[in-house]
Chains A and B, each alone.
Chain A
Amino acid sequence: QSALTQPASVSGSPGQSITISCTGTSSDVGRYNYVSWYQQHPGKAPKLIIYAVNNRPSGVSNRFSASKSGNTASLTISGLQTEDEADYYCSSYTSSTTQVFGGGTKLTVL
């Protein structure tokens, strides 16, 4: 199972919006609405921020939103804040009854 494809890095200024893409295949992202996104700060455990394509767990800011089209999912963070600087990973269930992550995207808030 190959990892999903994410950009290695993105950057933005406080207050701006950024979008992180996550490209899979017709066996994972394109087949199921079981896409999730995780935020990980250095030295901390990952945190679930989006599940089932575009749902936020309780307590997650509504500045985080997500969508999916075909084999590509996207995470948008609006009104960037310095605390958003972190690594972001997408993940999807697959037709092989496994789970696959993207390679991760490092977000820098300039």
Chain B
Amino acid sequence: EVHLVESGGGLVQPGGSLRLSCAASGFIFSSYAFNWVRLVPGKGLEWISHIDDVNNIYYADAMKGRFTISRDNAKNSLYLQMNSLRDEDTAMYYCVRDLPGAGWYFDNWGQGTLVTVSS
């Protein structure tokens, strides 16, 4: 069974940094592409970033330069380094696995980790 477990969320002041982690199990981690997606209160889902199985990386425009996605296949883990955090980054952050094949379809989601940016 596929398991994705996020960690690293919490309360951080504006301008601060956080590193989110996602531990994966139940499948061959290195064969899949992954994403970070967040649920913003009152706004809905927002795609953040994508990393494929050969480390091609893509970001939403609003996150470029502030967020960095990475993966460690030896540790079956996905990461999101978030810098220069703003109030509007407050959200539930999800680690999401892609369905194999063409197109980006998010077929397995973690339970999420909550990030609150506030002074």
A-B contact count (CB 8 A): 71
10 A-B pairs with C-beta separation under 8 A: A34-B104, A36-B106, A45-B94, A45-B110, A48-B105, A51-B99, A57-B99, A93-B103, A99-B50, A104-B45
Interface of B is mostly: strand
B47 touches A101 (CB 8 A): yes
Distance in angstroms from B19 CB to nearest chain A CB is 21
Say yes or no for A30: interface residue by CB 8 A criterion.
no
A residues engaging B (CB < 8 A)?
1, 3, 32-34, 36, 38, 40, 45-48, 51-52, 57, 87, 89, 91, 93, 97-104
B106 touches A89 (CB 8 A): no
B47 touches A104 (CB 8 A): no
Distance in angstroms from B3 CB to nearest chain A CB is 12
Say yes or no for B65: interface residue by CB 8 A criterion.
no
A52 touches B105 (CB 8 A): yes
A101-B47, A103-B43 known; A1-B61 Cβ under 8 A? yes
